[in-house]
Amino acid sequence: MSMRRMGLLHGLLRDKPCPLTMAQSQQQNYCKNSGEDICKLKKQLEEATQRRKEAEAAAEAEREAAMIKNRVDKCIVEKTRAFKECVEGSADKQQQDILRIMMGCLKTGIRQICANSVISAFCRAKAEAGANKIRQMLKQCGEKFPKGAGSNREPTAVDLIQKKCRGMAENKKLQAPGGNQAERSRYAKKVDQCVASEWKDLCSSRSSLSEKEQVELDSMQQCVCDQIKEKCRKQVLREMCVDGGQQPRKKANSQVLSVKARPKEVAEEVPEEKPSPPPKESLNPEVEKCVEAKLQSVEGFVRSLSDDEGTARENISECARIKLREQCEAEIQQRKLEEEIQRKKCLEKKARREAEMQQRKLSEEKARNEAEARRAKCLENRARKEAEMQQRKLSEEKARKEAEARRAKCLKNRARKEAEMQQRKLSEEKARKEGEARREKCLENRTREAKAKDDKCQPGGPGGGTEAVVNQELLKHFRECLFKTLGGPHDTQPGRKVTIAGAGAVGMACAMALLCKGVTNHVALFDDQKDWVAAERLDMLHGSMFINNPRIEQCNGVAATKDSRLVVLTAGNRPKPNETRLDVAQKTADIVKAVMPALLEQSPRATFIVVSNHADVMAWVARKVTNLPYERCFSTGCHLDTARFRLFIGQLLGIAARSVHGYVIGEHGGSSVPLWSTVSVGGVRLQEILPVIGTESDPMYWSAVHKDVVEAAFRVIAVKGYTNWAIGLTVADVVSAIFEDSHRVLTLSTNVQGFCGVKDEVFMSVPCVVSGHGISAICRPKLSDWEKKRFLKSAQTLLEAQCSIKV
């Protein structure tokens, strides 16, 4: 708005009386003359007045809230300090701890108590202020009217003040009287709002008055009403004039006051226009029923309104209907919305139930189809199994017939073999008797020659000496205690031909050791790989000039082994790095079973030395399939273990291995038994120096020597893949003892049934006497308890291995 127009507006306001005292027609003319800016200005002034009142009310509320908060905080501090002093002054420490733990809960209670007490005090103070205000009005009424002159009747239960207070309690509001002029309607509305506020304060403070003062208030009700109306008229007029830019003039004020003092006359002079009721919308019976039900609770308030309030009962009822209709419509809308939601939920639940039912039907149909498919498959499987069962029965019947045929053939072969065995036994018995006769004759000749020699050498006899007396019976008994003599003599094959069955690394090492040591110069090689054997034969023949020109038979099959005096069996499967000798026993046993009968057929008087792994078990297999005498079918056994045992002891003691005497018996493998009781050096037994040598109580851990003996072969195999030179030299030593008929004691593997508590036929290494046909006697070892226990355990291991072989 321009400055010129603002100046004009102020001039108009100064020249004109207060706008509230003018008629509405003059106000309309004023708005038309001043233009739209004046109306806008009035609207802005009203909005500013409203904002100012709201700000003042907010500021007043903030001041009251701040005052209450300060009082509450002060109360909390005082009570908390007093509580802490009480806690600290308590003599019982346990009570102090409990109160400190409950401090948080008690502070909450203190805060609530203080808030209630401060708010109650504030409300009482406010009510007391309202009561003082009422007393002031009663005092003014008492000064203005004589006692009892302010009321035309005695106070009753239906007095105006009581009706007003009941209306306030029921949240009823008085409708401002209408008028023809807009300014008049606004003024009346403000006055009515002020009156309603004053009445609200009066009703809230009325309970603080004494009974006498309440009776006096009822008697002075008309005076009190006039004072409230007069006060509100002055206050509203002052506010509206201040908002319009002018202070009210006394004359105008008096006119206004006179009009206000006579509300009925003013109503006659200026007829008020009742506000037209809002157009009714389409009536909903449900909404109207709800409105009528709610209106019944306010009918008493409507009837209690007096005519001097200037408000029609119909307007109040219509206003209440509008408000209640809105509330009922909201409630009905909310209820319909909830019903719609519930209906949708029911529909969704129904649809979900139908979907689940459909899914269940589909699942049942699928399960039924699957069951039918399984039933059909089961019937098919049953038919197939029955067919297979029938086929199996036929196969079993056929196999049974074939087994019976094989059994009959086996019985026939067994009868033939038994006949042959009987014939062989008769032949051997005859040969044995002939040998014993020759031996007795030989012994008789030797005895006669020795006696003649002794007679010549000894003085007193035929040769000049006395005759020596020897107890032959005691000597024979002594020998029986020392060793067990095996059967003999045997008709051995003449010559020195040695057959090596198996031209692998071990077999060729045996051949080279025999030739190089000069044990024999007649060797035959036999292997199923003929080209390989031929190449090995040629390689050896190329150096024959350096080994006394040996005779190596042409390799033309098993016939090359004919008439051999000794057969060394080295054929078999080579063990893998993580495999023991027992793991490959069955594979090697099959080879031994296939080879031994053919070799025995070519050389029936030969002695067989088994070297194939596992040597103990393979010697038992070879003897089973050939039924040879035990003294002509044996294994090198622990002869190599004994050589290693003496070597390691000699290395520790710093002497030659030949100067160490001792034996390793049992299995040629992990369960072998070192005979520490037999170990001697220069005639001194080591056990006499250290009685616990080799046992678990040995402080020098001599048992490590035997551990090295067991692991020696595996250490070589881990690098080379096999061992051959040591076993080759071992075989050469055994063959040399046989050819020389030296009667040397070697640890060879043979049947030890009946020795040291062994009850089964088990091939194990024990000290044996080696003669021209093989083993002539077995020494009876005197073992300690520790050695005997280990020996029986080794026998059990070998027995289990023998039982696992299918012969």
Residues tagged active-site: 668
Q: How far is CA 571 from CA 493, 513, 667, 712, in A?
A: 23, 17, 20, 22
- Let me know how many helices (H) and strands (E) the chain has, helices first: 24, 13
- SS3 percent helix, strand, coil of the chain, rounded to 5, is 65, 10, 25
Chain length of the chain:
807
DSSP per-residue letters across 241-278: HHHHTSPPPHHHHHHHHHHHH-HHHHHHHSPPPPPPPP
> Which residues are bridge partners to 763 per DSSP?
751
> Which residues are bridge partners to 775 per DSSP?
770
Strands 551-552 and 498-501: unpaired
- The radius of gyration of the chain from alpha carbons, rounded to an integer in Å, stands at 70
Rounded to the nearest angstrom, the gap between the alpha carbon of residue 228 and the centroid of all alpha carbons in its chain is: 85
Residue 661, helix vs strand vs coil: strand
Residues 35, 258: contact at Cβ < 8 Å? no
Nearest residue to 257 (alpha-carbon basis) of 220, 231, 289: 231
CB atoms inside a 10 Å sphere around CB 521: 17
The conformation of residue 278, written as its DSSP 8-state character, comes to P
Residue 345, helix vs strand vs coil: helix
DSSP per-residue letters across 446-501: HHHHHHHHHHHHSBTSTTSBPPP---HHHHHHHHHHHEEE-S----PPPS--EEEE
Nearest residue to 686 (alpha-carbon basis) of 644, 737, 652: 652
Residues 501, 567: contact at Cβ < 8 Å? yes
The conformation of residue 554, written as its DSSP 8-state character, comes to -
Torsion over CA: 202, 207, 208, 212 (sign)? positive
The conformation of residue 560, written as its DSSP 8-state character, comes to G
Whole-number Å distance between alpha carbons of 771 and 139: 161
| Residue spans of alpha helices (H) in 89-181 | 93-101, 103-144, 160-169
- Burial class, 130, CB count within 10 angstroms (exposed 0-12 / middle 13-18 / buried 19+): buried
Residue 608, helix vs strand vs coil: strand
Nearest residue to 176 (alpha-carbon basis) of 200, 195, 161: 195
Q: How far is CA 639 from CA 663, 667, 728, in A?
A: 8, 11, 12
Tokens describing residue 377: 């498959």
Where do we find the tokens 């905080």?
73
| Residue spans of alpha helices (H) in 517-606 | 530-541, 585-602
CB atoms inside a 10 Å sphere around CB 411: 10
Tokens describing residue 544: 């024959």
> Which residues are bridge partners to 459 per DSSP?
465
- Those residues with Cβ within 8 angstroms of residue 377's Cβ, 6 or more apart along the chain or in another chain: none
Tokens describing residue 195: 């009156």
Whether residue 285 is preceded by a cis peptide bond, meaning omega within 30 degrees of 0, is no
Residues 22, 183: contact at Cβ < 8 Å? yes
Residues 137, 224: contact at Cβ < 8 Å? yes
CB atoms inside a 10 Å sphere around CB 142: 15
Nearest residue to 664 (alpha-carbon basis) of 770, 775, 781: 781
Where do we find the tokens 């009685």?
691
